[in-house]
Structure 1
Amino acid sequence: MPHRLFLSSGDLIADRRYEFARDLELKGDLVAAAEVMEQALEVAPNFASAWFELGKMRIALGETDKAISALQNAVAADPDDRHGAGVRLMQLGASPLADMPKAYVQSLFDQYAPRFEAELIERLNYRAPSILFKAVLAVRAAERKPAHFKRAIDLGCGTGLGAAAFAKNVDGFVGIDLSAGMIAEARATGLYAELEVDDMTAGLQRRPDASADLVLAADAMVYVGDLAPVLREIERVLRPGGLLAFTVETHDGAGVIMGKGLRYAHSAEYLRGIIAGACLQPMHLDPASPRTEDQVPVRGLAVVAGKS
């Protein structure tokens, strides 16, 4: 997912040098690009966008220590970390795994909202909603229960692709997303009874106990490292017999890592533990690829858990 946030330095010369460095980078001359970016930073030492781009160039050049230093400077220059320099530091192992900065996730998806569906469906062959729909149908068939839900909460609802997949099986949707741009796109679908701009856990905290039959998170948990707080809230808002269905990206190791695509990857073992810890019952945990990246299917898992 491209991320082209630019925060001006306030200095015309520094901004122009930044643009010149980006041009050199696009032409493939990374050494010269890094040199010019450093010249921009000499003029404007608190230029967050320049530090961030310099960090990315240093990563591409294999200069990890210099990359870490530049990314740390990017965070210092913009404590809200709208570029997500801290996410790259986690990926490099230079800082402990933590929640993604809210301002980063908001700016990423606000920029992305207008072209989100076209990019996901056409370029990334996004299929998380259909994977979850089939998983929920299979679980309900095994239980010999109808796959119909009065109230569903769509976490990280984006533009509404999850609700669209379940539309014939749900009477009313609540959508929660951190990006106001995404919520605007979701509103235009007419699929949601309610929509709110917030992160998943905070949005759920305002929902009454036992108020949902289904909680859905299609390709949204990849932006949440520690799933324990959100799963506790999901367990509280689910009615007995209700289902939680979500996709994650995964890896062969233990626990949670920051993956190559700058999204969290959760191991199957971690998921089993976190589901049990939230007093939910695992009902389906199968390999499933939610999207394709660089023409390779991304490794993932489709998860359905129930509240007894």
Structure 2
Amino acid sequence: MQPHQLSSGDVIADRRADYARMLEEGGEPEAAAELMEQALELVPAWAAGWYRLATYLEKAGRGEAAIEAYRRTLTLDPDDIFGAALKLALLGDAATPDLPPSRYVERLFDDYADRFESALVEKLDYSVPQKLAALIASTGRRYELAVDLGCGTGLLGPEIRANVGRLEGFDLSQNMLAKAAEKHVYDGLAQADLSLAPDLSGVFADAGRHRADLVTAADVLMYLGNLESVFAIVGELAASGADIAFSVEDAGEGDGFHLAPSLRYAHSESYVRMLLARHGLEILKTVKSVIRKDGGKPVSGILFLTRKPA
């Protein structure tokens, strides 16, 4: 279990929860759920415990019981650091939220930071930074200021650093930013929530209004559903004539976005094109490509290179 889930505050409940986890890992989700229910009898206000119970029930095929457990999780944890609302949407109990809970995304990547690069690059064949950097390089431009939105551990930074005068990175996770800082590639790093409308009196003021001539978002937008807030932020940061490069997971046909079982969002090309037109951004190039693996299967994505007209 991760640090935020380590203890229920009851030694016996924790022991039962540990046994339940071992049962689930051994392919016995029904038995795991039964033992987890016993643990929760001792600590009924343990939000993390209810979330774990819900996942075991879901794997055991007990959908209605899982829904009740996810609801209980959400009641006990209104900030929803476990993403219970996303699970309820996938199970058909709630509408798909436009955006995931910010605390869920922050917790997800804070927990994931130490193993992020080894898991993503070495095991999942993640290739977006190299492919996005190649798109950017195709312009033949040198950029005075690049802003890397959702920079994570800084995988894109080294790929574009040679053609950038100043490179600034923003991310929701402090632990991911700490990893990015270790690369000594970024000139500035700061915490920011891309799901919020831009507030230039706050953190984005340091990036400067209409000052960046390159804005990037590599493998970030799949953690947001409705992309209006991101393009609003881009519009504030980008100078006239700036290039904007980003990737999405490909939702295929349709005019919108959907929530995948991975708890990431996929966006249709037509939806992204509609938003780009609304925000006055010109599409220079698009590339459809496999961007990673998930569960051993390829995940299709779309890379966009766009420009804010001069």
Question: Does the alignment reach a TM-score above 0.5?
Answer: yes
Match of 1:291 in 2: 292
Alpha-carbon separation, structure 2, partners of 1:299 and 1:33: 34
- Give the TM-score taking structure 2 as reference length: 0.92
Deviation digits for residues 21-40 of structure 1 (CA, Å, limit 9, x no counterpart):
11111111111111111111
| Alignment match, 1:143 | none
Is the counterpart of residue 55 in structure 1 residue 49 in structure 2? no
Asked if structure 1 preserves the Cα contact closer than 8 Å seen for 2:196 and 2:229, the reply is no
Q: Percent identity?
A: 37
Q: Does 1:174 align with 2:175?
A: no
- Distance of 2:159 and 2:261 partners within structure 1: 28
How far residue 181 of structure 1 moved from its aligned partner, in angstroms, is 0.4
Tell me how far apart the structure 1 counterparts of residues 221 and 58 of structure 2 sit (CA, whole Å).
26
User: Cα deviations across residues 281-305 of structure 1 (Å, max 9, x unaligned)?
Assistant: 1222231222112222201111111
1:87 is displaced (CA, Å) by: 2.0
Contact 2:110 2:173 in 1 (8 A): yes
User: How many Å separate the matches in 2 of 1:279 and 1:261?
Assistant: 32
- For the 8 Å contact 2:197–2:229, the answer to whether it is kept is no
Query: 1:221: how far off?
Result: 0.8
Gaps in structure 2 of 5+ consecutive residues: none
For this pair of structures, how many residues does the alignment match?
A: 301
C-alpha separation in 1, matches of 2:158 and 2:286: 23
Aligned to 2:89: 90
What's the counterpart of residue 30 of structure 2?
31
2:194–2:229: 8 Å Cα contact kept in structure 1? no
1:41-86, Cα deviation, whole Å (9 max, x unpaired): 2222111112111111122122222111111111111112222222
CA separation in 2, counterparts of 1:109 and 1:33?
27
Q: Which residue of 2 aligns with 1:149?
A: 143
> Which runs of 5 or more structure 1 residues have no equivalent in the other structure?
141-145
Partners in 2 of 1:28 and 1:11 — Cα distance? Answer: 26
From the superposition, tell whether residues 297 and 3 of structure 1 become closer, same or farther in structure 2 (CA, over 3 Å).
farther
Counterpart residue identity of residue 166, structure 1 = I
Partners in 1 of 2:63 and 2:57 — Cα distance? 7
Match of 2:221 in 1: 221
Matched residues in 2 for 1:134 and 1:201: separation? 27
Q: Which moved more, 1:56-65 or 1:163-172?
A: 56-65
**Distance of 2:66 and 2:3 partners within structure 1:** 18
Report what 2:9 is aligned to: 10
TM-score by length of 1: 0.92
Partners of 2:92 and 2:270 in 1: how far apart? 22
Distance 1:88 1:251, change over 3 A: same
**DSSP-derived class of the 2:107 partner:** helix
**One-letter amino acid matched to 2:105:** V
Deviations 1:184-226 (A, max 9, x none): 1111111111110121255953233211011111101111111
| Offset, 1:164 | 1.1
In structure 1, the partner of 2:184 is 190
Distance 1:202 1:23 in 2: 39
Secondary structure of 1:252's aligned partner: coil
Residue in structure 1 matched with residue 80 of structure 2 by the alignment: 81
CA distance in 2, matches of 1:260, 1:178: 22
Q: Which runs of 4+ in 1 moved over 3 A?
A: 2-5, 201-205
Q: Comparing 290-299 with 126-135, which one deviates more in the overlay?
A: 290-299
User: Secondary structure of the equivalent of 1:290?
Assistant: strand
For residues 129 and 16 of structure 1, what CA distance do their matches in structure 2 show?
Answer: 42
Match of 1:64 in 2: 63
The DSSP-based 3-state class of the residue aligned with 2:182 is helix
The CA RMSD over aligned residues, in Å, is 1.8
CA distance in 1, matches of 2:259, 2:4: 21
Asked whether the 8 Å contact 1:222–1:264 carries over to 2, the reply is yes
- Bigger shift: residues 103-112 or 88-97: 88-97
One-letter identity of the residue aligned with 1:59:
E
- Asked if structure 2 preserves the Cα contact closer than 8 Å seen for 1:3 and 1:108, the reply is no
Alignment partners' CA distance in 1, 2:245 and 2:219: 11
Which residue number corresponds to residue 274 of structure 1? Answer: 275
Q: Which amino acid aligns with 2:33?
A: A
Would the aligned equivalents of 1:8 and 1:49 in 2 still touch at CA under 8 Å? no
Letter in 1 for 2:59: A
| Aligned counterparts of 1:236 and 1:197: Cα–Cα separation in 2 | 17
